[in-house]
Amino acid sequence: MKVAVLGFGTVGKGVYEMLAHADGLEQGPVLVRPGKADEPWKISDINGIVSDVSVGAVAEVMGGVEPAFSYCAAALKAGKHVVTSNKALVAAKGIELAALAREHKAAFLFSAACGGGVPFLHNLSLAVLSDRIESLGGILNGTTNYMLDAMQRRGLDYASALADAQRLGYAEADPTADVSGLDALRKIMLGCAVGFGLLPVEGLDCEGIESFSAADAADLKKRGLCCRLLARGGKSASGVYAYVEPMALGASAAECSVLDNFNMARYRGVNSGDIIMIGQGAGRWPTASAVLRDLSCILRGERAMLGAGCVSGKADNSGCAHSYYVRLPAGYAGRLPVKEAWRDGGDARVITEPVSVADMHALAAELRGSGAGIFFAALED
């Protein structure tokens, strides 16, 4: 099967190179920006791929929603299979693309959009065929894991940890999607869509690591805790819950052994129990290998990761409750339901009574609106 590649950045180059050695697959044309078609196999017009009857599949690795959506839609309407590593695209348009694939008897697979080389969505899409998934999530962003690990094991401050991640290629020049938690949130949205048949687009709560400081790292370490950014999704009374937030865990927790830029994805099935996968979550070769895995699955007859009944909906995090570790200006501590508190200079550090995820995120937003700098992390259940 000849495969066209949309995009020739870090991942696109990896996909194109791997196609040269993959059983049953061969290199097709590569879509590049106008003025960049400096080789015969590079083109800058998507119509050259859509109209090419020799192309059986398209691998989209451009990123962003547009023009990626328009290009993938055109390829599916032409009966070509589509695989993508683009989490933003699938979160925004995945249900629509899956419907187009069914209509035109083509495949639409996207396991590379979450976890890089970790086969999280791939395994999850198989598990739902014979098991009922109860919960899913984990450490789904390698950039933030690298930074948190560097701050806690090596004592770096936030700015130094970010600069280090950028130097090593783990963080983009604009790291906002990673450090804000948005990247991990999109991935948990996809996990919910595959695991539960509901893509949550409202009611989501997201807290990243932008407020985490060297002083926070030192205080948590003193208390035998480590911080990781966790994405969580699961079944709730009204549908699903889905959120991202820092979590303070005991040093023996499995997540604390996930170092550097690695990911740890997990799901719990009624029959399987906990399934945990650890590996490289980003980068040229891990992500390209996941794209090739999806293409190989198409050769074996796999066609979909989202069922026809998958719908978009609203997450409900009101039923998920934890105690929280919170650092904030001492004068604001009284606005929290305090279980334990101590002073740290001009700040207070607080352990709260159990608070719902929805309420804690709303309270943090309210405090920040009042001018309070705040860091919070859920405490291990």
Please give the positions annotated as active site.
187
- Locate the DSSP E strands across the chain: 2-6, 26-31, 42-43, 55-60, 81-84, 108-109, 133-139, 198-202, 205-206, 225-236, 239-250, 262-269, 273-280, 311-314, 321-322, 324-329, 338-344, 347-352, 355-356, 375-379
Calpha distance 202→215 (Å, rounded)? 34
Rounded to whole angstroms, the Cα distance separating 47 from 43 reads: 10
Radius of gyration of the chain (CA): 22
Pairing of strands 225-236, 198-202: unpaired
Helix (H/G/I), strand (E/B), else coil: 54? coil
Q: Cα angle at 208 between 196 and 134, to 5 degrees?
A: 20
- Look up tokens 């695989």; give the residue: 83
Q: What order of strands is seen across the sheet that includes strand 2-6?
A: 42-43, 26-31, 2-6, 55-60, 81-84, 108-109
Cis peptide bond N-terminal to 67, omega within 30: yes
Residue 72 CA from chain centroid, whole number? 21
List Cβ neighbours of 68 (8 Å cut-off, separation of 6 or more): 6, 60, 62, 84, 86, 89
SS3 316: coil
Distances (CA, A) of 124 to 118, 127, 146, 263, 358: 11, 5, 25, 16, 26
Q: Are β-strands 239-250 and 205-206 bridged in parallel, bridged antiparallel, or unpaired?
A: parallel
CA dihedral 55, 56, 61, 66 (to 10 degrees): 80
Burial class (CB in 10 A: 0-12, 13-18, 19+), 355: buried
Q: Look-up: residue for tokens 């690591």? A: 209
